[in-house]
Amino acid sequence: MGKKIVSLLLIGHMIILTLTGCNTNELGFLNLSKEIETNTQYKFTNSTELVISSTVAREDYNINLELKGEANIDDLNSMYMNFDVMLKVNEIENEQPINFVITDNKVYVSKNAILETVKLKEKLDGTKENSKVIDYLYNEELKDAEYILIADLNEYYNGVQYKANSKEINDSALDYIKAAFKNFDTKLVKKSNNGYAIELTPKNAFVLIERLIKYVDENKEQVFDETIKYIEKIYDQINVTDLEGLLETDKQAAIDEFKESRQNFYDFIEEAVLFIKTDEFKAYENMFNRSTLKEEIYKKGSSYIQKVEGELVFQDIIMGNLKTSTEIIPVAVEQKQITGMYLSIDELESLYYKTENKINPVNKIELSWYPENDNAEINKYRLDGKTDWDYKNYALIEDRVYLPLRYIGESFEEDVQWDNELKKAYIIRSGEKIDMTGVLIDNTTMVKVRDFEKLGYKIGFVQVEQVKDAGNFFLEIMPVMFIPAAVGLITVWKDIVYNIIPILIITILTTVLVMVATGKMTDFILKKDKG
């Protein structure tokens, strides 16, 4: 599996690298790109405007993103970034910058992201969901916290370590291009007033693909051999300690496997040569006609500027466009640590539910389960009429249903405590321990549903068999009920066929209205029963 991942990454990397080719302008573009990438300590700003057309969304969206921060990537195994984000959607923007910090292979976000996200959502769609819960959580429960830990990169990349620095990695890529694609000219890179520019259109992109495939076909031995050398170089630049198929001990076997694929590579190129001559290949170009992508990079004083503009057009329909500008300013950047209090995402989620149960308590929990499923479906009915849906593992022991004590107990604001010595969980009320006599399954205390009656809760039970006969009756009779309507439709078909569109619209609308009316009436009856 690991070798397949590396193969896909290399193919993608090779295509991207090849876009720049090896003529004078292209080497100039590469050298300037390399100069930018070798800056490992810098400040940066980015301004991005993304327009999404209503043809692919509910409405036209104009999204503006502003980033401003600093980075230190001297050590690729422990990179540092600190930047502020301002987001504007259709002229509605967050009030204060949201700060992101990447340090010690962990990603943090400032706690004001909670309020800013909720406010932005409220302004966009007019909803003010759980505002009391959010305000109490932010101002009381999180008053001493500064950041939220949203990701620990060690969990994803713990088994991969870089042995090379960014300059060595970039040098390897540049050497590979020069060796594998020497004398190949993409004809895309032009000298601009400030630096170098690339303009990509469907026409010149497909011409590039044709020329690239022909070049590889004529120089396939050279391209393949240099690619193998590049793969070996990549293996030398990383140390994998915990990824099956990519370990140091797997290195030679993986290289040998790549070498054995030479004929497969040759066969693929031959098939590609035939494909680019077909009408199907030409049809793809027409599908994206009028799409454009422009990139320019240049140096301004001690700063580096990159600008990208693009528009995606699919079958003559404008799907959206992108405009972005980035400035990189080389300066010394000191890595900083998160010194204030922070919470993990899991801790924040747990704290949110506890706060919600306090501010908007659960009145009733309704659950359903089936022996063939591992999870029970759970509906929580809250004080304000809101219903939460969830699912949890359950256990069926001697025809009795067991559910997680902490999950159910804390939903009703019960104080659930654990006695590690006795390996028992308790409900604490007024200082008194109430033993729930649960069973420990996968480090979770599971309790019989009926045992919650000890706490004064009312337990109701509806068995499937009680409604099974009625359900079967309706399932059997329903098809028969459609026969008269179907026969009537056949007899008048010639009269309605010319009005089929209005009839379909009316049918759909009335169906929706009936569903809404039925739902509202059911909701009214349930609330009346509660009252």
Which percentage of the chain shows pLDDT scores above 70? 78
Higher pLDDT, 184 or 495: 184
- Residue 200 and residue 33 in contact, taking contact as beta carbons nearer than 8 Å: no
pLDDT band at residue 12 under the 50/70/90 scheme? very low
Q: How confident is the model at residue 107 (pLDDT cuts 50, 70, 90)?
A: very high
pLDDT in the model for residue 473: 56
- What does the pLDDT read at residue 465? 56
* Average pLDDT rounded to a whole number, residues 93-111: 91
- Mean pLDDT, residues 5-11 taken together: 40
**What distance in Å separates the CA atoms of residue 170 and residue 173, rounded to the nearest whole number?**
5
The CA distance from 389 to 174, in Å, is 54
* Protein fold of 362-455: Copper Amine Oxidase; Chain A, domain 1 (3.30.457)
Q: Is 402 exposed, middle or buried (0-12, 13-18, 19+ CB in 10 A)?
A: buried
Domains of the chain, residue spans: 2-40+157-302, 362-455, 464-530
DSSP letters spanning 246-269: -SGGGHHHHHHHHHHTHHHHHHHH
Kindly report the average pLDDT of the chain as a whole number: 78
Q: Provide the pLDDT confidence category of residue 471 given band limits of 50, 70 and 90.
A: low
**Could you tell me if 228 and 59 are in contact, meaning their C-beta atoms sit under 8 angstroms apart?**
no
**Which pair of structure tokens corresponds to residue 95?**
């009030």
* Amino acid (1-letter code) at residue 427: I
**Least confident segment among 14-18, 163-167, 271-275, 480-484:** 14-18
pLDDT confidence band for 83 (50 / 70 / 90)? very high
**Which tokens hold the place of 215?**
């070049």
Q: Are 313 and 290 in contact (CB under 8 A)?
A: yes
Q: Which amino acid is at 201?
A: T
Q: What are phi and psi of 468, to 5 degrees?
A: -65, -45
Closest by CA to 113, choosing from 129, 99, 93, is 99
Compute φ and ψ for 45, nearest 5 degrees.
-135, 150
pLDDT confidence of residue 476:
59
pLDDT of residue 80: 92
- The residues, ordered by sequence, that sit 6+ positions from 75 with a Cβ below 8 Å of its Cβ are none
DSSP state of 138: I
Please state the φ and ψ torsions of residue 414, each to the nearest 5 degrees: -80, 150
First CA to last CA across the chain, in angstroms?
59
Residue 481's pLDDT is 52
Range among 39-43, 183-187, 513-517 rated most confident = 39-43
What would the DSSP string read from start to end of 451-518? GGGGGT-------HHHHHHHHHHHHHHHHHHHHHHHHHHHHTHHHHGGGHHHHHHHHHHHHHHHHHHH
Q: What is the dihedral of CA 241, 242, 246, 247, to 10 degrees?
A: 40
What integer pLDDT is reported at residue 81 of this predicted model? 92
Q: Mean of the pLDDT values across residues 25-45?
A: 79
pLDDT in tens, 427-446: 888 888 888 777 888 888 88
Tell me the pLDDT tens digit for each residue of 396-421: 888 788 888 888 888 888 888 888 88
Phi, psi of 77 (to 5 degrees): -85, -10
Please count the CA atoms within 13 angstroms of the CA of 413 that sit on its side-chain side: 11
Pairing of strands 341-344, 145-152: parallel
Q: 138 pLDDT exceeds 50?
A: yes
CB atoms within 10 A of CB 267: 11
Among residues 253, 181, 259, 190, the alpha carbon closest in space to that of 215 is found at 181
At residue 498, the pLDDT reads 41
What pTM was computed for the model? Answer: 0.70
Cα dist from 483 to 479, 489, 508, whole Å: 7, 10, 21
Model confidence at 501: pLDDT above 50: no
Q: Which of 253-267, 317-331, 486-500 has the lowest mean pLDDT?
A: 486-500
- pLDDT at res. 67: 92
- Please tell me the predicted confidence (pLDDT) of residue 147: 93
Asked if residues 403 and 446 have their Cβ atoms less than 8 Å apart, the reply is yes
pLDDT band at residue 246 under the 50/70/90 scheme: low
| Residue 227 and residue 333 in contact, taking contact as beta carbons nearer than 8 Å | no
Residue in 53, 37, 60 with CA at minimum distance from that of residue 304:
37
Q: Which residues contact 229 (CB under 8 A, 6 or more apart)?
A: 176, 179
For residue 100, pLDDT over 50 is answered with yes
Which helix (H) or strand (E) is 343 found in, with range?
A: strand 341-344
Ranking 86-100, 322-336, 356-370 by mean pLDDT, the lowest is: 356-370
User: Residue 353 is encoded by which pair of tokens?
Assistant: 């539910």
Assign 10 a pLDDT band (cuts: 50, 70, 90): very low
Can you tell me the distance from the alpha carbon of 366 to that of 379, in angstroms, rounded to the nearest whole number?
5
Q: What six digits make up the tokens of 527?
A: 């609330």
- C-beta of residue 162 within 8 angstroms of C-beta of residue 356: no
Given CA atoms 329, 330, 332, 338 in this order, what sign does their dihedral have?
Answer: positive
Asked if residue 128 has pLDDT above 70, the reply is no
Question: At 2, is the pLDDT very low, low, confident or very high (cuts 50, 70, 90)?
Answer: very low
Query: What is the reported pLDDT for 408?
Result: 83
What is the reported pLDDT for 165?
A: 80
> 112, 95 in Cβ contact below 8 A?
no
Mean pLDDT along residues 34-58: 86
- pLDDT at residue 520 in the model: 53
- pLDDT at 64 exceeding the cut of 80: yes
User: E-assigned strands of 104-173?
Assistant: 106-110, 145-152, 160-162
What is residue 17's predicted lDDT score, i.e. its pLDDT? 44
Residue 91: name the closest of 49, 46, 37, 28 by CA. 49
Q: What is the DSSP-derived secondary structure letter of residue 248?
A: G
pLDDT at 149: 93
CA 394/CA 48 separation, integer angstroms: 48
